[in-house]
Protein backbone atom coordinates (compact mmCIF):
# COMPACT_ATOMS: atom_id res chain seq x y z
CA UNK A 1 0.00 0.00 0.00
CA UNK A 2 1.58 3.22 -1.13
CA UNK A 3 -0.15 6.27 0.33
CA UNK A 4 2.79 8.67 0.47
CA UNK A 5 4.82 9.24 -2.67
CA UNK A 6 7.69 10.65 -0.66
CA UNK A 7 10.35 10.02 -3.29
CA UNK A 8 8.62 12.64 -5.49
CA UNK A 9 9.49 15.28 -2.89
CA UNK A 10 13.18 14.58 -2.74
CA UNK A 11 15.29 17.64 -3.59
CA UNK A 12 17.44 16.89 -6.64
CA UNK A 13 21.15 17.31 -6.16
CA UNK A 14 22.37 20.75 -7.27
CA UNK A 15 19.31 21.59 -9.41
CA UNK A 16 17.44 24.89 -8.96
CA UNK A 17 14.63 24.64 -6.42
CA UNK A 18 11.54 26.82 -6.37
CA UNK A 19 9.63 26.30 -3.12
CA UNK A 20 6.73 28.47 -4.28
CA UNK A 21 5.98 25.85 -6.94
CA UNK A 22 5.88 22.98 -4.44
CA UNK A 23 2.65 22.17 -2.60
CA UNK A 24 2.12 22.65 1.11
CA UNK A 25 -0.96 20.43 0.96
CA UNK A 26 -1.11 16.64 0.43
CA UNK A 27 -1.00 15.55 -3.20
CA UNK A 28 -4.39 14.48 -4.61
CA UNK A 29 -3.40 10.79 -4.82
CA UNK A 30 -2.66 10.71 -1.10
CA UNK A 31 -5.65 12.88 -0.22
CA UNK A 32 -7.96 10.45 -2.02
CA UNK A 33 -6.84 7.78 0.45
CA UNK A 34 -7.09 9.88 3.61
CA UNK A 35 -9.49 7.39 5.16
CA UNK A 36 -6.55 4.96 5.31
CA UNK A 37 -4.11 7.37 6.96
CA UNK A 38 -4.81 6.51 10.64
CA UNK A 39 -4.44 2.75 10.07
CA UNK A 40 -1.28 3.30 8.05
CA UNK A 41 0.16 5.53 10.79
CA UNK A 42 -0.49 2.80 13.37
CA UNK A 43 1.15 0.17 11.19
CA UNK A 44 4.19 2.44 10.70
CA UNK A 45 4.43 3.06 14.45
CA UNK A 46 4.70 -0.70 15.02
CA UNK A 47 7.31 -1.05 12.26
CA UNK A 48 9.32 1.90 13.52
CA UNK A 49 9.35 0.45 17.01
CA UNK A 50 10.70 -2.87 15.72
CA UNK A 51 13.33 -1.21 13.55
CA UNK A 52 14.46 1.06 16.36
CA UNK A 53 14.90 -1.97 18.66
CA UNK A 54 16.98 -3.60 15.94
CA UNK A 55 19.12 -0.46 15.51
CA UNK A 56 19.68 -0.37 19.27
CA UNK A 57 20.59 -4.07 19.43
CA UNK A 58 22.98 -3.98 16.45
CA UNK A 59 24.89 -0.81 17.33
CA UNK A 60 26.39 -0.83 13.84
CA UNK A 61 24.40 2.09 12.43
CA UNK A 62 22.87 5.36 13.62
CA UNK A 63 20.13 7.57 12.25
CA UNK A 64 19.88 11.35 12.24
CA UNK A 65 16.63 13.05 11.28
CA UNK A 66 17.04 16.79 10.68
CA UNK A 67 13.82 18.82 10.89
CA UNK A 68 13.79 22.36 9.59
CA UNK A 69 10.96 24.75 8.85
CA UNK A 70 9.54 28.16 9.63
CA UNK A 71 8.01 28.77 13.06
CA UNK A 72 4.81 26.71 13.55
CA UNK A 73 5.78 24.39 10.65
CA UNK A 74 5.27 21.51 13.09
CA UNK A 75 8.73 20.33 14.09
CA UNK A 76 7.72 19.70 17.73
CA UNK A 77 4.38 18.14 16.78
CA UNK A 78 5.98 15.84 14.24
CA UNK A 79 8.48 14.57 16.82
CA UNK A 80 5.67 13.99 19.31
CA UNK A 81 3.54 11.93 16.92
CA UNK A 82 6.10 10.00 14.90
CA UNK A 83 8.14 8.86 17.91
CA UNK A 84 5.21 8.44 20.32
CA UNK A 85 5.51 4.65 20.48
CA UNK A 86 9.27 4.31 20.56
CA UNK A 87 11.31 3.49 23.66
CA UNK A 88 12.96 6.69 24.94
CA UNK A 89 16.09 4.62 25.61
CA UNK A 90 17.12 4.60 21.98
CA UNK A 91 15.87 7.99 20.81
CA UNK A 92 17.05 11.50 21.60
CA UNK A 93 15.66 14.83 20.42
CA UNK A 94 17.90 17.90 20.36
CA UNK A 95 16.76 21.48 19.80
CA UNK A 96 19.07 24.27 18.71
CA UNK A 97 18.36 27.88 19.63
CA UNK A 98 20.29 31.11 19.15
CA UNK A 99 23.97 30.23 19.82
CA UNK A 100 25.17 31.09 23.32
CA UNK A 101 28.45 32.88 24.15
CA UNK A 102 30.68 29.78 24.20
CA UNK A 103 29.03 28.34 21.08
CA UNK A 104 29.70 31.59 19.21
CA UNK A 105 33.40 31.25 19.99
CA UNK A 106 33.52 27.86 18.24
CA UNK A 107 32.99 26.90 14.61
CA UNK A 108 29.29 26.55 13.73
CA UNK A 109 29.41 22.74 13.64
CA UNK A 110 30.94 22.33 17.11
CA UNK A 111 27.70 22.26 19.06
CA UNK A 112 26.02 20.16 16.37
CA UNK A 113 28.69 17.45 16.16
CA UNK A 114 28.48 16.91 19.93
CA UNK A 115 24.82 15.90 19.61
CA UNK A 116 25.02 13.53 16.64
CA UNK A 117 23.89 9.91 17.15
CA UNK A 118 26.18 7.21 18.47
CA UNK A 119 25.88 3.89 16.65
CA UNK A 120 22.65 2.29 17.85
CA UNK A 121 20.97 5.64 18.39
CA UNK A 122 18.29 7.57 16.61
CA UNK A 123 18.50 11.35 17.02
CA UNK A 124 16.12 14.05 15.88
CA UNK A 125 17.35 17.60 15.38
CA UNK A 126 14.71 20.26 15.94
CA UNK A 127 16.58 22.95 13.96
CA UNK A 128 20.19 22.28 13.20
CA UNK A 129 23.42 23.49 11.58
CA UNK A 130 21.18 24.77 8.75
CA UNK A 131 20.13 27.70 10.95
CA UNK A 132 23.65 29.00 10.37
CA UNK A 133 23.06 29.35 6.64
CA UNK A 134 19.53 30.71 7.07
CA UNK A 135 19.34 33.23 9.90
CA UNK A 136 22.64 35.09 9.32
CA UNK A 137 21.96 35.06 5.58
CA UNK A 138 18.53 36.65 5.94
CA UNK A 139 19.90 39.08 8.52
CA UNK A 140 22.68 40.06 6.09
CA UNK A 141 25.39 38.91 8.51
CA UNK A 142 27.15 36.55 6.10
CA UNK A 143 27.99 37.23 2.48
CA UNK A 144 27.69 34.81 -0.42
CA UNK A 145 31.26 33.40 -0.33
CA UNK A 146 30.98 32.70 3.41
CA UNK A 147 27.62 31.05 2.87
CA UNK A 148 29.09 28.86 0.08
CA UNK A 149 31.95 27.98 2.41
CA UNK A 150 29.45 26.85 5.05
CA UNK A 151 27.61 24.68 2.50
CA UNK A 152 30.96 23.10 1.69
CA UNK A 153 31.62 22.37 5.38
CA UNK A 154 28.09 21.00 5.81
CA UNK A 155 28.48 18.62 2.85
CA UNK A 156 31.75 17.30 4.26
CA UNK A 157 30.36 17.04 7.78
CA UNK A 158 27.37 15.01 6.62
CA UNK A 159 29.63 12.87 4.47
CA UNK A 160 31.76 12.14 7.55
CA UNK A 161 28.64 11.09 9.46
CA UNK A 162 27.58 8.85 6.58
CA UNK A 163 31.02 7.23 6.36
CA UNK A 164 30.90 6.65 10.11
CA UNK A 165 27.65 4.66 9.86
CA UNK A 166 25.12 7.42 10.50
CA UNK A 167 22.36 7.85 7.94
CA UNK A 168 21.23 11.45 7.63
CA UNK A 169 17.68 12.24 6.48
CA UNK A 170 16.60 15.86 6.22
CA UNK A 171 13.03 17.15 6.10
CA UNK A 172 11.99 20.69 5.38
CA UNK A 173 8.44 21.07 6.71
CA UNK A 174 6.83 23.22 4.07
CA UNK A 175 3.91 25.36 5.28
CA UNK A 176 2.19 28.22 3.51
CA UNK A 177 2.33 31.75 4.86
CA UNK A 178 -1.47 31.61 5.34
CA UNK A 179 -1.22 28.44 7.39
CA UNK A 180 1.43 30.06 9.56
CA UNK A 181 -0.88 33.01 10.14
CA UNK A 182 -3.60 30.63 11.42
CA UNK A 183 -1.18 28.79 13.67
CA UNK A 184 0.36 31.97 15.12
CA UNK A 185 -3.14 33.34 15.73
CA UNK A 186 -4.06 30.09 17.51
CA UNK A 187 -1.06 30.62 19.80
CA UNK A 188 -2.19 34.16 20.56
CA UNK A 189 -5.76 32.98 21.23
CA UNK A 190 -4.95 30.05 23.50
CA UNK A 191 -3.53 30.90 26.96
CA UNK A 192 -2.01 27.41 27.10
CA UNK A 193 0.10 28.26 24.05
CA UNK A 194 1.21 31.74 25.15
CA UNK A 195 4.50 30.40 26.47
CA UNK A 196 5.42 29.44 22.91
CA UNK A 197 5.05 32.96 21.51
CA UNK A 198 8.37 34.58 20.61
CA UNK A 199 9.02 38.00 19.07
CA UNK A 200 11.28 36.30 16.52
CA UNK A 201 8.30 34.32 15.11
CA UNK A 202 6.71 37.59 14.01
CA UNK A 203 9.97 39.16 12.85
CA UNK A 204 10.89 36.12 10.75
CA UNK A 205 7.41 36.14 9.20
CA UNK A 206 8.12 39.65 7.88
CA UNK A 207 11.06 38.15 5.99
CA UNK A 208 9.15 35.17 4.57
CA UNK A 209 10.40 35.61 1.01
CA UNK A 210 14.02 35.97 2.08
CA UNK A 211 13.69 32.83 4.21
CA UNK A 212 12.22 30.91 1.27
CA UNK A 213 15.16 31.99 -0.90
CA UNK A 214 17.63 31.06 1.83
CA UNK A 215 15.97 27.63 2.17
CA UNK A 216 16.00 27.09 -1.60
CA UNK A 217 19.70 27.85 -1.77
CA UNK A 218 20.57 25.70 1.28
CA UNK A 219 18.48 22.70 0.22
CA UNK A 220 19.69 22.60 -3.37
CA UNK A 221 23.31 23.01 -2.26
CA UNK A 222 23.27 20.24 0.33
CA UNK A 223 20.90 17.54 -0.95
CA UNK A 224 22.83 14.42 -1.92
CA UNK A 225 22.31 10.69 -2.36
CA UNK A 226 23.94 10.15 1.01
CA UNK A 227 21.94 12.79 2.89
CA UNK A 228 18.93 13.88 0.88
CA UNK A 229 16.50 16.70 1.60
CA UNK A 230 12.76 16.19 1.32
CA UNK A 231 10.24 19.01 1.04
CA UNK A 232 7.35 17.74 3.17
CA UNK A 233 3.94 19.31 2.48
CA UNK A 234 3.11 20.30 6.06
CA UNK A 235 -0.15 22.27 6.09
CA UNK A 236 -1.86 19.00 7.08
CA UNK A 237 -0.43 17.69 10.34
CA UNK A 238 -1.63 14.12 9.79
CA UNK A 239 -0.09 13.95 6.32
CA UNK A 240 3.17 15.50 7.51
CA UNK A 241 3.51 12.87 10.26
CA UNK A 242 2.66 10.04 7.89
CA UNK A 243 5.24 11.30 5.40
CA UNK A 244 8.04 11.43 7.97
CA UNK A 245 7.11 8.06 9.49
CA UNK A 246 7.01 6.43 6.05
CA UNK A 247 10.38 7.93 5.13
CA UNK A 248 12.02 6.77 8.36
CA UNK A 249 10.70 3.23 8.04
CA UNK A 250 11.98 3.08 4.47
CA UNK A 251 15.40 4.45 5.51
CA UNK A 252 15.76 2.00 8.40
CA UNK A 253 14.66 -0.94 6.26
CA UNK A 254 17.34 0.04 3.76
CA UNK A 255 20.02 -0.45 6.42
CA UNK A 256 19.37 -4.23 6.30
CA UNK A 257 19.88 -4.55 10.04
CA UNK A 258 20.22 -8.04 11.47
CA UNK A 259 20.24 -9.02 15.12
CA UNK A 260 23.69 -9.80 16.50
CA UNK A 261 24.31 -13.41 17.52
CA UNK A 262 24.27 -14.00 21.28
CA UNK A 263 27.69 -13.43 22.92
CA UNK A 264 27.33 -16.67 24.90
CA UNK A 265 26.31 -20.23 24.11
CA UNK A 266 22.72 -20.16 25.28
CA UNK A 267 22.64 -23.97 25.60
CA UNK A 268 24.58 -23.52 28.87
CA UNK A 269 21.68 -21.76 30.52
CA UNK A 270 19.21 -24.18 32.11
CA UNK A 271 16.49 -22.72 34.26
CA UNK A 272 15.40 -24.83 37.21
P1 LIG B 1 12.31 27.87 18.51
O2 LIG B 1 12.85 26.70 17.77
O3 LIG B 1 11.06 28.41 17.92
O4 LIG B 1 12.22 27.63 19.98
O5 LIG B 1 13.34 29.09 18.36
C6 LIG B 1 14.69 28.96 18.27
C7 LIG B 1 15.21 30.23 17.65
O8 LIG B 1 16.62 30.15 17.61
C9 LIG B 1 14.71 30.42 16.22
O10 LIG B 1 14.32 31.76 16.03
C11 LIG B 1 15.96 30.10 15.40
O12 LIG B 1 16.01 30.75 14.16
C13 LIG B 1 17.06 30.55 16.34
N14 LIG B 1 18.34 29.92 16.01
C15 LIG B 1 18.65 28.61 16.08
N16 LIG B 1 19.92 28.40 15.65
C17 LIG B 1 20.41 29.60 15.30
C18 LIG B 1 21.66 30.05 14.76
N19 LIG B 1 22.64 29.20 14.52
N20 LIG B 1 21.81 31.36 14.51
C21 LIG B 1 20.80 32.22 14.76
N22 LIG B 1 19.60 31.87 15.27
C23 LIG B 1 19.40 30.59 15.52
MG1 LIG C 1 9.82 30.00 17.61
- C-alpha 199 – ligand 2 centre gap (Å): 8
Instruction: State pLDDT tens for residues 106-141.
Output: 999 999 999 999 999 999 999 999 999 999 999 999
pLDDT score for 1: 62
CA torsion sign, 186 to 130 to 240 to 39?
negative
Ordered DSSP codes for 144-185:
HHHHHHHHHHHHHHHHHHHHTTEEEEEEEEE--HHHHHHHHH
Beta 62-69 vs 122-126: how paired, if at all? parallel
Determine the atom of ligand 1 nearest the C-alpha atom of 129.
19
- C-alpha 122 – ligand 2 centre gap (Å): 24
Residue 100 has pLDDT above 90, yes or no: yes
Residue 251 has pLDDT above 80, yes or no: yes
Q: Share the mean pLDDT of the chain.
A: 96
200 lines ligand 1 (CB under 6 A): yes
The pTM of the whole model exceeds 0.95: yes
103 lines ligand 1 (CB under 6 A): no
271 lines ligand 1 (CB under 6 A): no
**Class of the domain covering 6-257:** alpha beta
Ligand number with the minimum distance to the CA of 197: 2
Residue 266 has pLDDT above 90, yes or no: no
pLDDT score for 236: 98
98 lines ligand 1 (CB under 6 A): yes
DSSP 8-state secondary structure symbol assigned to residue 57: H
Q: What residue ranges do the domains of the chain occupy? A: 6-257
Ligand number with the minimum distance to the CA of 131: 1
Question: CA–CA separation, 169 vs 66, rounded Å?
Answer: 6
Q: What percent of the chain has pLDDT over 90?
A: 89
Amino acid sequence: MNIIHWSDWRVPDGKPLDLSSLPTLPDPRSEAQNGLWPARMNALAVQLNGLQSMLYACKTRGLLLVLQGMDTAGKDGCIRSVFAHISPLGVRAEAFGVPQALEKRHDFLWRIHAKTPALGEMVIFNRSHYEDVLVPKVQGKINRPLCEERYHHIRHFESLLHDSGVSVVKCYLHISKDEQKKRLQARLDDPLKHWKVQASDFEDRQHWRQYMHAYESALQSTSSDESPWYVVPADSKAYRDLFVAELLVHTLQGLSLTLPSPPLDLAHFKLR
